[in-house]
Structure 1
Amino acid sequence: MATAPAIGIDLGTTYSCVGVFRQGKVEIIANEQGNRTTPSYVAFTDHERLIGEAAKNQAALNPANTVFGGLVERNYNQDAKRLIGRNFNDPALQNDMKHWPFKVINDDNKPRVQVTYRGDTKVFHPEEISSMILYKMKESAEAYLGAPVRKAVITVPAYFNDSQRQATKDAGAIAGLDVLRIVNEPTAAAIAYGLDKTDDKERNVIIFDLGGGTFDVSVLAIEKGTFQVKATAGDTHLGGEDFDSRMVSFLSQEFMRKHKKKIDNDKKALRRLRTACEKAKRTLSSCTQASIEIDSLFEGIDFYTSISRARFEELNSDLFRSTMDPLERCLTDAKVAKTDIHDVVMVGGSTRIPKIQKLLQDFFNGKELNKSINPDEAVAYGAAVQAAILTDGKAVEVQDLLLLDVTPLSLGIETAGGVMTVLIMRNTTIPIKKTRIFTTYTDDQQSVLIQV
């Protein structure tokens, strides 16, 4: 049986998306519910394993056994994506664990997710959880294309380190995919923006990618099908989930004030409150007020309240402002003035937040933001194009495309005194090869441990 074309997968912390390039264009593939994005949720019950919408819909009833997120991205995905590639003692992981209703255990300083499945206690690596989400995306693609899918390009946040990238690749292999390449999310989004821009004029473009769990910003120069990343910066631990957490904390305190009851230790109540907060956040992107109505939230008490956009912005003001620091750093590293930026392209669902848009517009002195691409689908779109280039670059639409990416973090080795000696600076165009001669620490030394 003939195999399907290679696919592109955006494995997101909160939602995932898959696309394919065929017959000269990208097609974003809907799941069995007809939705073009799928919640990055996996749930374990007494009878079955659920993935996607079905898993998310029962999260409030079964919070301890519902895991969400690109576990690989955050190094620990209840956020499987927040779990991936991280050590158990990572301070960011420890902080996230306070918000997760599922149990994360320490296995030789590596985080593992512990759930109850069919009556038994099961322990999963973050990569295994992420692989289940990837397998779901693969299944959707196979149903749509009517043929087995073998190859894929998977995207990750630009600021992922090597262990997180390898963990994502491992997750793909577990899902039965030959992972052709791991591509940075902003770079993939830039392809979606620039695929139809074939003029000779060089354009400096900012890709501002704020999703559910991670934040990236990249500066690219696009000219005649060449996409050159000049610099990238970001925060693998900032996104819409963090904004939700601020609202959950605020409203749980309001419940305490009104009813003298503390819900912080009730996983089901917190899960229902978080779901309501996520819905309210989305409402506040188009309205100035959102109502929250939860019947029998805790001990039979109904919780009815409202929150204004101004209050939401106040709760998250420091997080919103913190997106500007990587933006400044990225422009500095790229040696590009903000007045020389032609387009500011927004990617990721959290860029729909009006305050984020205003901060970005003010930073660029009132410049109109580019909203020409779908922020939820752009990354999968670019990944699908890259998959086509790597498997069948003959299509006229992609045959002349050239991607020049950078390493987001400096690379080096540990030398005497525990000092890191940098060999390849961050934002160096890859592939790159560097050679340097080092001496041993003592005379007649027989072996050496190289810590990269």
Structure 2
Amino acid sequence: LVGTCHYNGVSYRSEAIKGSVIGIDLGTTNSCVAVMEGKQSKVLENSEGARTTPSVVAFSGDGERLVGMPAKRQAITNPNNTLYATKRLIGRRFDDAEVQKDLKNVPYKIVRASNGDAWVEAHGKLYSPSQVGAFVLIKMKETKTTWGIHTKQFPATKDAGQIAGLNVLRVINEPTAAALAYGLDKTQDKVIAVYDLGGGTFDVSVLEIQKGVFEVKSTNGDTFLGGEDFDQHLLKHIVKEFRRESGVDLTKDNMALQRVREAAEKAKCELSSSLQTDINLPYLTMDSSGPKHLNMKLTRAQFEGIVADLIRRTVAPCQKAMQDAEVSKSDVGEVLLVGGMTRMPKVQQTVQDLFGRAPSKSVNPDEAVAIGAAIQGGVLAGDVTDVLLLDVTPLSLGIETLGGVFTKLINRNTTIPTKKSQVFSTAADGQTQVEIKVCQGEREMAADNKILGQFTLVGIPPAPRGVPQIEVTFDIDANGIVHVSAKDKGTGREQQIVIQSSGGLNKDDIENMIKNAEKYAEEDRRRKDRVEAVNMAEGIVHDTESKMEEFKDQLPADECSKLKDEIAKVRDLLSRKDTETGENIKQAASSLQQASLKLFEMAYKKQQKQCRCITIQYHSTFF
């Protein structure tokens, strides 16, 4: 995503860009932020000091929202309300086969929204995937943010940015962004391939770089293939082995499954650099015979066998991308690896076999997309002038015509932005309306492709079939968002639709979510103030009690009693810290601190005076 770091939820035009432009990789597993500093892009660290942030959002029982590593850390004890990999659901219908498969693989609830889209539930509240993405983006924006999907996912990704209070200037494909990160300082003309195997999706693009022009020749991939699937395969293997050895089925125990899921992810990462790893989970569960522990050794070869089918699924899209770009593997001068899963040696070997050359490791697979998005932001802001990006639409777009045939208006891998019109007519005598079904895909029949949306053009004057002239126009903008219109050339009557699965969000929904995001920001600020106040108060109480013990012989009893009353007031507020305001706690703590400082200063002077008297007395006795 590419956007500006200030609140502007309406205008997406880049003519007058104000504020710093930042690039965000809103990833399935992790997210990353980069910013242009002059001609160079720089990855920014988050509040925890890390260069990437887990794309995880959790809701505690008292309504607190956690994002990033804090959310990930508490997932074991709160699996049902910890949302991860929700990016896969952006722009998806609940009935999609991929969503139905995901229902069985995640501990949280995926539910049907009122318009049929896939949403998620936590503590009885429903959230669109765009909202969850916005929570992550708000966290990223605190770092200093903005950013860099399947055509229907672009608008919903844009919604996430708008809800987060970002002015989204451009949404670009991840492999394209990675290519920008690689090629910004390259002068040699060449064809490159980008193999992007991330947490939730697999993308491959073939690009040609010539004199600063980045032209996407083709793109392909699998929107439901990534590191989450590798984790799930390994999790199933571990659960199966545990059941075989202990006789205990873990599939109904969400807390145990979450522990196994985290162990599987850790083992997967370790096996990228080690030939063997140990998986040890003490007290994983228990039965009538007592507690059960999981102890398992896993070799790299075993893991490669477990996920072999997933790696094989990346081969066909790569071959298809080269075919569509009309290049052979000998024409590809460089292969870039993007996404954390490309650290796996077997994946790297597969890429080498596919393209006939060892892949380049000149870009950081976790950071390349954010860096590329920041570069594109620099282009839009006018800071980078020697780069031009020509992106493409990944799948063909068209409409359903007579007999259920899919008639393409825009073929896949067409450079965007683009516009195409075609004239159609009625199929029956006296027909006064036509239904336009907009589809995406490569199959010949519309039913075999994905329906993106539909609308009806009414008010056509009755006439024999074939006489009315209906002009259908497809217009794809630079963000990949599709505008479709149908116009009766005889009457001038027109109907149009913008293809955007906004995650079940209409304009009012988005406006409400922007307000909610602002409300959350205020709640977060109050919560932070309260935590800081509690920490300060507890420190002052501790110091006061320590000093009271130290100066107990110098303090008057009545003054000690007053100080104890002040301490009691602070402790009372601390006992109600979840409901008290940070300001009240701070005031009480400050009052205690002022009272104690005056008293301890008097006691200290008294003690010093006594010490001097003792010293004089001691010396005179000695002499």
Q: Same fold (TM over 0.5)?
A: yes
Alignment of 1:11-410 (within 5 A): 11-47=26-62, 48-69=64-85, 77=86, 81-108=87-114, 109-116=116-123, 121-141=124-144, 152=146, 154-155=147-148, 157=149, 160-161=150-151, 163-199=152-188, 202-299=189-286, 300-365=291-356, 367-391=357-381, 393=382, 395=383, 398-410=384-396
**Distance in 1 (alpha carbons) for counterparts of 2:259 and 2:358:** 37
Give yes or no for the alignment of 1:449 onto 2:435: yes
* TM-score, with structure 1 as normaliser: 0.90
Q: Deviations over 1:145-170 (max 9, x none)?
A: xxxx6xx4x33x3xx12x21111111
The answer to whether the 8 A contact 1:248-1:274 is kept is yes
Residue ranges of structure 1 left out of the alignment (5+ in a row): 70-76, 142-148
Counterpart residue identity of residue 406, structure 1: V
Residue ranges of structure 2 left out of the alignment (5+ in a row): 7-17, 439-623
Q: How far has the Cα of 1:430 moved from its partner?
A: 1.3
**Distance in 1 (alpha carbons) for counterparts of 2:250 and 2:263:** 15
**Distance in 1 (alpha carbons) for counterparts of 2:98 and 2:349:** 28
Q: Which shows bigger deviation, 367-376 or 442-451?
A: 442-451
Q: How many residues align?
A: 417
Higher relative contact order, structure no. (Cα contacts within 8 Å, ≥ 6 residues apart): 1
**Distance in 2 (alpha carbons) for counterparts of 1:189 and 1:431:** 20
**Distance in 2 (alpha carbons) for counterparts of 1:184 and 1:194:** 16
Q: Deviations over 1:9-57 (max 9, x none)?
A: 1000000001110232111111111100000000000231000000000
1:129 partner SS: helix
**Distance in 1 (alpha carbons) for counterparts of 2:404 and 2:377:** 41
Q: How far has the Cα of 1:125 moved from its partner?
A: 1.2
Q: Deviations over 1:277-299 (max 9, x none)?
A: 10001110011101101121112
Q: Deviations over 1:266-314 (max 9, x none)?
A: 1111111010010001110011101101121112311111111111010
1:405 partner SS: strand
The answer to whether the 8 A contact 2:25-2:33 is kept is yes
**Distance in 2 (alpha carbons) for counterparts of 1:184 and 1:412:** 21
Q: How far has the Cα of 1:418 moved from its partner?
A: 2.0
**Distance in 1 (alpha carbons) for counterparts of 2:248 and 2:340:** 34
Equivalent residue number for residue 434 of structure 1: 420
**Distance in 1 (alpha carbons) for counterparts of 2:110 and 2:196:** 28
* TM-score, with structure 2 as normaliser: 0.66
Equivalent residue number for residue 145 of structure 1: none
The answer to whether the 8 A contact 1:31-1:38 is kept is yes
The answer to whether the 8 A contact 2:351-2:358 is kept is no
**Distance in 2 (alpha carbons) for counterparts of 1:191 and 1:203:** 13
**Distance in 2 (alpha carbons) for counterparts of 1:58 and 1:112:** 22
Q: How far has the Cα of 1:101 moved from its partner?
A: 0.4
**Distance in 2 (alpha carbons) for counterparts of 1:384 and 1:64:** 35
**Distance in 2 (alpha carbons) for counterparts of 1:63 and 1:21:** 38
> What fraction of aligned residue pairs are identical, expressed as a percent?
50
Give the 4+ runs in structure 1 shifted more than 3 A.
1-4
1:276 partner SS: helix
Q: How far has the Cα of 1:429 moved from its partner?
A: 1.1
Counterpart residue identity of residue 390, structure 1: L
**Distance in 2 (alpha carbons) for counterparts of 1:23 and 1:327:** 35
Equivalent residue number for residue 421 of structure 1: 407
**Distance in 2 (alpha carbons) for counterparts of 1:104 and 1:123:** 9
Q: How far has the Cα of 1:183 moved from its partner?
A: 0.3
Counterpart residue identity of residue 411, structure 2: M
Counterpart residue identity of residue 194, structure 1: G
Q: Deviations over 1:211-265 (max 9, x none)?
A: 0110000000001110000000000000111011111001101110111100011
Q: How far has the Cα of 1:449 moved from its partner?
A: 2.1
